[in-house]
């Protein structure tokens, strides 16, 4: 009777050694990847121990992280899709409905980027859609996008 483990771990010289381990040991890329992983782990471990042993944790080196503000988030979310959405009235209607919902929820100070993006989308629709009826349809907000 052959067990599943005998196929996964073939016998060679009386030892059970997985084929994966042999391939891993022979591969230079695997060794390099493992070395980088191990070095990163050890560095992180050393940094954590130095942070815990520091009497004033604010003096430990910190990494600055930039967090986008509201205007950048609105631009990121709506700039690229506007160029492709004008060809699809379902998309323009849903985007306009989303902007309208955000305008209801956003405080007064955060409405300006939304209003600007809505104006730009309406201008793009006006340029891309020649028929007035289609323009009106594509410019009316609808959460489902289908009317």
Q: Both 87 and 46 in a single domain?
A: no
Q: Both 46 and 75 in a single domain?
A: no
Residue 84 lies in a domain: yes
Token pair in block for residue 14: 């009386």
Q: Both 76 and 130 in a single domain?
A: yes
Structure confidence at residue 26 (pLDDT): 78
Structure confidence at residue 52 (pLDDT): 55
- Domain with 99, as residue range(s), is 70-138
pTM: 0.55
Q: Both 13 and 53 in a single domain?
A: yes
Cα–Cα dist 8/2, whole Å: 11
Residue 143 lies in a domain: no
Token pair in block for residue 116: 């600007």
Q: Both 52 and 92 in a single domain?
A: no
Contact by Cβ (8 Å): 114, 103: yes
Q: Both 79 and 126 in a single domain?
A: yes
Structural domain count of the chain: 2
Cα–Cα dist 83/78, whole Å: 9
Residue 2 lies in a domain: no
- Tell me 131's DSSP state: S
Structure confidence at residue 141 (pLDDT): 92
Domain-terminating residue out of 59, 78, 97 = 59
Token pair in block for residue 75: 């631009």
Going by C-alpha positions, the residue among 108, 101, 110, 105 that lies closest to residue 141 is 101
Q: Average pLDDT for consecutive 10-residue bins of the chain (147 residues)? A: 51 59 75 83 76 59 75 87 85 91 92 94 93 92 74
């Amino acid at each position: 009777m052959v067990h599943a483990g005998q196929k996964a771990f073939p016998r060679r010289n009386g030892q059970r050694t997985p084929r994966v381990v042999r391939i891993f040991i022979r591969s230079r890329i695997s060794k390099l990847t493992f070395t980088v992983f191990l070095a990163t782990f050890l560095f992180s471990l050393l940094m954590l121990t130095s942070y815990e042993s520091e009497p004033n944790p604010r003096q430990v080196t910190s990494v600055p992280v930039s967090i986008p503000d509201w205007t950048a988030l609105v631009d990121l979310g709506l700039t690229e899709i506007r160029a492709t959405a004008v060809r699809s009235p379902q998309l323009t209607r849903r985007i306009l409905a989303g902007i309208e919902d955000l305008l209801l929820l956003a405080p007064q100070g955060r409405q300006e980027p939304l209003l600007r993006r809505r104006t730009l989308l309406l201008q793009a629709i006006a340029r891309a859609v020649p028929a007035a009826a289609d323009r009106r349809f594509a410019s009316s907000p609808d959460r489902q996008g289908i009317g």
